[in-house]
Structures are given as structure tokens and as C-alpha cells.
Amino acid sequence: MSRHETSPTTVQPASNHRPNACCFCWCCCCSCSWNEDRERAWRASRETKLETIPNCEACTKPSPEEVRGWAQSFDKLMKSPAGRNVFREFLRTEYSEENMLFWLACEELKNECNKHTIDEKARMIYEDYISILSPKEVSLDSRVREVINRKMQEPSSHTFDDAQLQIYTLMHRDSYPRFLNSAIYKSLLQSVSRSSSES
């Protein structure tokens, strides 16, 4: 056996170290209803759930003024459904589309009033974007994660507010400047400017 190979007996999956771990914390001391059966069922349905996310929001074709306005502020971009669609397309090229999907899911949750629906949506958001088991996990600091874990005991429409703000700030500082210099944005700007000059 070469020094680069490891013995099968020394490599153990992380789940063996925390058999009772639930989706709300990383320790093995909790006993909650989110047991291993639920986790297995969730893993099996995860891909199906992610496939049901619509490709984009319904929106009208943006005007040249609107598209130019996206370069003036990130807020303008995010307040425009067409802007969010184009930005999301850009994020997909950077493999960070989950940031926009998480932000949109939080916006949807904030508009919800029904307690049962809030619980259901909050748990889906947690599973899809906060859980360390998820391939779509967003990047959050430990303080925000702790806040979410506490709030998930009794979810509300504002459970993810701190996390949503952190992801919004991350997209603003990190992805937005690159988006403005991207081929996606520049070609759209040329396209709408050309079509408006022709009409």
C-alpha cells in the first residue's frame, strides 16, 4: 500500500460520529423529530424538490433605461424581476445561483401569513440552503447559523432575516461588480439599446 492510499478501516463517514444528529445542529446530543428516517426521505426527495424550482420569474422585457439603471445600484437590480433573472443567470455561471434562490425563498416566506405554511416553508428553506447536508448550502457565519437554529424551534416569516441580509450583502459586494463587467450584462445592454434605436 502506497503512502497516498488510506486503509478502508481508517476512513469512516462523518455520520458515524454523530448518529443522532438532526438538521438543526451539528452536535449529537439532541433528540428531535427530525430523525434518520426523515433525513433519508429528504435526501431521496431533494433532487426532485430542486427540479421544481422555476427557471425564472415572470416579467416583462426591461427597457434600456431599466437595464442601465441596474448599473447604478444593486438595489435597483434586485427590485426588478427582469434584473433578478439576468443576475441569477450570471450567478449560475459562477456556481452560486443558490444565493439568489435562497434570497427569493426568504422573500416568499416573508409574504406568508398561514402558520402551517410558514412552518413548512421554513423547514424547506432550512433543508435546501442552511443544512450542512445540502448541496445548495449558502455561506453563513456561525453567529447567524446559531440565531437560525434557535428560531427554528418556532419558525416565523422572519426566521431567516439575518441570513438573507448576509447573503444579499455577499451578492452585492462579491458578485455584483463582476456581473456589471460580464458578457451577459453587456450583451443585454447592447441588445435593448439596439432594439430601442430601431423602433
Give 91's contacts (C-beta < 8 A, 6+ positions apart).
Answer: 97, 99, 100, 171, 175
Mapped onto helix, strand or coil, the DSSP state of residue 141 is: coil
Using an 8 Å Cβ cutoff, are 171 and 99 in contact? Answer: yes
pLDDT in tens, 176-198: 999 999 999 999 999 988 877 77
Domain 63-194: CATH superfamily is: Regulator of G-protein Signalling 4, domain 2 (1.10.167.10)
Percent above pLDDT 90 for the chain: 65
Arithmetic mean of pLDDT, 48-66 = 65
Arithmetic mean of pLDDT, 60-84 = 95
Distance CA 140, CA 43 (A): 22
What are the domain boundaries of the chain? 63-194
Arithmetic mean of pLDDT, 131-160 = 96
Using an 8 Å Cβ cutoff, are 28 and 15 in contact? Answer: no
Confidence of residue 14 (pLDDT cuts 50, 70, 90): very low
DSSP 21-49: --TT-SSS----S--HHHHHHHHHHHHHH
> What Å distances lie between residue 92 and 86, 99, 105, 175, CA to CA?
10, 10, 17, 11
In this predicted structure, what is the pLDDT of residue 57? 65
With 70 as the cut, is the pLDDT of residue 85 above it?
Answer: yes
